[in-house]
Amino acid sequence: MGKEKMNNLKKVSRTIYSCRRCGMCGNKVTASVPYICPVRESTPGFDHFYARGKTVIAQGLLEGRIEPSRELAEVLFSCTLCSNCMTQCGSLNGDTGEALVDTTGIVQAMRADFLRNHPEWIDPAYQTVLNATRRYNNPWGLPRTARDKWAHGMGLKQAGKETAPVLLFVGCTMASSQALSGRAKKAAQILQKAGVDFAVLGKDEPCCGSVQTRIGDLDLAGAMMEDNISLFNGLGCKTIVTLCAGCTSMLKKDYAGAEKKLEPAVVHIVELLPRLLKENKLALKKKTSLKAAYHDPCHLGRYLGIYDEPREIINSVPGVTLLERTATRENTICCGAGGGMRIFESGVLAETIGRAAVESAAGTGAEAIVTACPFCEMNLDTAAKNSNSPIRIYDIIDLVHDAMN
């Protein structure tokens, strides 16, 4: 491939050379940080499994000292893009306190260059996701005709045909999964109960492009982004309410770099619910008895800084006791599903990482883990069941829906 073809990597070269190679991203341990990189913790732990090693690889590729290879391509996809390495980074901007090394951006750039120049080296499972996107406009191969199954019989407004100030954006993962699609229905029922005037796109709802971006097909994701911005801006809505952490991060952060501006504001439902509770538009009266640990999704927490709102919601549910794990909020260890890891090695490593998250919750005495991301929910649920853990996995939507009935 040669260094002259690493076009995406060249764009992030400044952040690559900001790395001091101190190893803080792999070796920092404190009372609230048991470890940083879930991939390094769940593998033999060589440098290429965590941020410092991947940054060194990026430098070598840029300078032509490291030759691209199939083995190297596999290394690039062994990352959840959780950004905990950036939270703990020892190379900081003196004015803002933010990490100077954008590890997630570096890894995504390397993936993009490898995918463009040597697609034959990329796991075919990733190609399947990208081909499904091109065919169905969602990564999981769900035909458009089945996308609105969850909303059948609810009499919801159809965006584009009827106007509403709020668009409920369900996301591909929740709409595609039989196990998760009930959450979309519950979210719509919560909004109906609160008197929110909203519409859905149903079978016309597009993929946001998050999965494609994380895999590295930036051309496909960029085209999707431009089409979606035109679609959303033309609906006349003022707010897009999301149910998926990945969709939220994509629409809020990645879309901000597009040529066209996304006009509607984007809020995850955990940002909206506290407002509805304070305005007495929702009443949570049904009491339950549950000790729960909240799992901060990476795309809501470290990517967007949304930590307080979900805890506020959980504390509003009668009978639920919120327990905090040792590593929580910005130090939360990734569930293991991000960055395409549920596809990598058939999801084996993702499940191993998820099992550690389940065990840490069990260590607090929690009976359940509550989260706000379908990827987290699926991976944690798989890890809990396959390890015979009694821990149950809930979406925060479940708690609110059950408590209001």
pLDDT digits (tens, 9 = 90+) for 170-222: 999 999 888 888 999 999 999 999 999 999 999 999 999 999 999 999 999 99
Of 4 and 145, more confident: 145
From the number of C-beta atoms within 10 Å of its C-beta (0-12, 13-18, 19+), residue 169 rates as: buried
* pLDDT range class, residue 91, cuts 50, 70, 90: confident
- Average predicted confidence (pLDDT) for the chain: 94
- Give the CA dihedral 398, 399, 403, 404, nearest 10 degrees: -50
Report pLDDT for 345. 80
194 and 276 Cβ atoms separated by less than 8 Å: yes
Name which of 232, 153, 140 is nearest 180 in CA terms: 140
pLDDT of residue 342 exceeding 90, the answer is no
What DSSP state is assigned to residue 304?
Answer: T
The answer to the question of residue 378 being in a domain is yes
Tokens 């993936």 belong to which residue?
111
Query: Cβ of 326: how many Cβ atoms within 10 Å?
Result: 14
Which CATH number belongs to the domain containing residue 315 in this structure? 3.40.50.10700
* pLDDT range class, residue 5, cuts 50, 70, 90: confident
| Partners of residue 320 on adjacent β-strands | 290
Name which of 59, 46, 58, 63 is nearest 110 in CA terms: 58
The answer to the question of residue 204 being in a domain is yes
- Give the span between the Cα atoms of 256 and 242, in whole angstroms: 16
The structure's pTM equals: 0.94
Q: Are residues 231 and 361 in the same domain?
A: no
pLDDT of residue 3 exceeding 90, the answer is no
Listing from the earlier edge strand, what are the strands of the sheet with 166-169? 157-158, 198-200, 166-169, 239-242, 265-268
Q: Are residues 209 and 302 in the same domain?
A: no
Q: Which residues contact 305 (CB under 8 A, 6 or more apart)?
A: none
Q: Are residues 218 and 201 in the same domain?
A: yes
Report pLDDT for 94. 79
The boundaries of the domain holding residue 390 are: 284-404
